[in-house]
Amino acid sequence: MTVGGKTYRYVSVQGSETGNVVKGNTEVTYLYEEVKGSVVVKYVNEAGQAIKASETVMSEEPVGTAYDVTGKKESTLDRHRR
């Protein structure tokens, strides 16, 4: 579910989702948590092996947050420098 530009996922319900109406108020509360993610830049060779340490650029950011890692790209990597 997305509200106000933030994405949430269902966690649990408090109260009974089914039943009969009784005098007064019956409350049913749905609990949601904000969905977050991270952006990690990895440098690997053709075999998928790491050739340079990965770098976490953003951590636990709300889904939909813009990112730009174009400045992290290197045209050449020297295997003696990590």
pLDDT digits (tens, 9 = 90+) for 17-47: 999 999 999 999 999 999 999 999 999 999 9
72, 54 contact by CB (below 8 A): no
CA distance 68 to 57: 9
Please determine, for residue 51, whether its predicted confidence score (pLDDT) is greater than 70: yes
CB 70 within 8 Å of CB 57: no
Please state, in angstroms and rounded to a whole number, the distance separating the CA atoms of residues 55 and 31.
Answer: 33
46-52 long-range contacts, Cβ below 8 Å, gap at least 24?
Answer: 51/77, 51/79, 52/77, 52/82
Prediction pTM value: 0.66
Q: Name the token pair of 76.
A: 């050449």
